[in-house]
Chain A
Amino acid sequence: MKFLLCNGSPRGKNGNSGILVDALAKGLSEHADVRIEKALLNRIGEHEQTAGALAAADCAIIVFPLYTDAMPGMTMAFFEKLAPYIGSLNDLHLGFVVQSGFPEKIQSRAVEKYLERLTGILGAQYSGTAIFGGGMSMGKNRLKLARDLGKTFLPSGTFDPALLAETSRMEKLSPRGIKVMRLITNMPLIQIPWIRQLRVNGSFKRRNDRPYA
């Protein structure tokens, strides 16, 4: 069985999408008869070749970070290279992983709906979309979950719905959460990682610059 794992992050291997791809591959490799191929979608010049590999695969999972509420432009450029295969990928099981810095799943629901539609346009079988929220760090539990998602993807060719529910437990902020987070986000505490980076780069004084005002 041919299995293609696409990393749609502009950061390539160096981002959280790359970490998730590796974890999925680990889980999938527990199946003896699976040949896993990985593709980096930030290699724009290889998009046509990768589109061919996707068309020849039995299963594929495309992993990407949420960029301005959808896929990164590079990943969309790859989707456009799939145009020759519209309506013809009937034997392909196609799944997606969307990872976002925002903890709420609602942030990724609109693109999730599009991904199901894209699968339909290609004539492929939709395997589901795993939404990982709050993805600034990849802890052990998260990596285990990604491994399990890979492992249980086969033989059915779909993500396990019980595991999909675990990827991020917060659909949206609760009424109490909204009140608490309104207070917390007004304090420097939650912004510390950004403030620290601005200081390290000597840019803190310019943090409120508005170059196009």
Chain B
Amino acid sequence: MKRITILNGIPDDSYTEFEAALDGVAATESPKRHIDVIRLRDLDIRYCTGCWDCWVKTPGLCAHRDDMQTVYTSIMHSDLFVLLSPISMGFVSSLTKKTCDRMIPLVHPYIVVYKDEFHHKNRYEKRPEMGLILLDPDKNDVDFNNTRNIFSRLSINLQTDLTLALHLTGSEKEVYNEISTL
């Protein structure tokens, strides 16, 4: 069974129907896949302060003992983790970005050459695939492409692949058409 974690980085109640439909799809049992939706705005997630404790003091563990523990566990037990965010100032929400910053405990400080570039060595053998779902009622292609390119780079840094990139308006219908089929 494919395990999927969706990190919902919608920061407010702007997409309540979409979120309700998403929760409904996740709750529907399927023999093929299991979806966990984590609503980031309900969690205590602090900003990365660049202290590097997770690299040099407590390897693999962030200095913040906050709700990211739930996120790390879910990601590392998934086959695919998906960052879901509305487009905000042409990029993802700061809630989503803050969560991404906190992923550095998943890699080592050590530098290796990967895909012909310098990157951090992976801490875990398991490398869940990565996905991106961007909500934008205007469906601005420039914002979608810029954001996808940045997350494509992040997938290289985490030594995985960005295997999903959806550009949605945020309607309920899209949840049934695009997400329930994952």
Measured CB to CB, the residues of A under 8 A from B are 9-11, 15, 42, 44, 65, 67-74, 76-77, 79-80, 82-83, 102-104, 106-107, 110-111, 113-114, 117-118, 121, 172-173, 178, 181-182, 185, 190-191, 194, 197-198, 201, 203, 206-213
Is B126 a contact of A117 with CB atoms below 8 Å? no
Determine whether B164 belongs to the interface, using a CB cutoff of 8 Å to chain A. no
Please count the residue pairs between chain A and chain B whose beta carbons lie under 8 angstroms apart in the complex: 160
Is A173 a contact of B113 with CB atoms below 8 Å? yes
Q: Which residues 94-136 of B have a CB within 8 angstroms of A?
A: 94, 97-101, 103-104, 106, 108-113, 116-119, 123-124, 126
> Distance (Å) between the CB of B146 and the closest chain A CB?
5
Measured CB to CB, the residues of B under 8 A from A are 47-50, 52, 55-61, 72-73, 75-76, 88-94, 97-101, 103-104, 106, 108-113, 116-119, 123-124, 126, 142-143, 146-147, 149-154, 157
In the complex formed, the residue of B with least CB distance to A178 is B116
B89, B151, B152 — most chain A CB neighbours (10 Å): B89
> Distance (Å) between the CB of A105 and the closest chain B CB?
11
Given contacts A69-B150, A72-B47, A210-B123, list 20 more A-B pairs with CB under 8 A: A11-B49, A11-B50, A44-B47, A67-B48, A70-B91, A72-B48, A72-B101, A76-B93, A76-B97, A80-B94, A82-B89, A83-B89, A107-B117, A117-B90, A172-B117, A173-B118, A191-B109, A194-B109, A194-B110, A212-B73
Is B157 a contact of A69 with CB atoms below 8 Å? yes
Complex interface: chain B residues within 8 A of A10 (CB): 47-50
**Can you list the 3 inter-chain pairs with the closest CB atoms, starting with the nearest?**
A73-B98, A77-B94, A197-B56
Is A118 a contact of B72 with CB atoms below 8 Å? no
Complex interface: chain B residues within 8 A of A190 (CB): 111
Out of B90, B104, B111, which one reaches A118, CB within 8 Å?
B90
> Distance (Å) between the CB of A81 and the closest chain B CB?
9
> Distance (Å) between the CB of B67 and the closest chain A CB?
14
Complex interface: chain A residues within 8 A of B157 (CB): 68-69
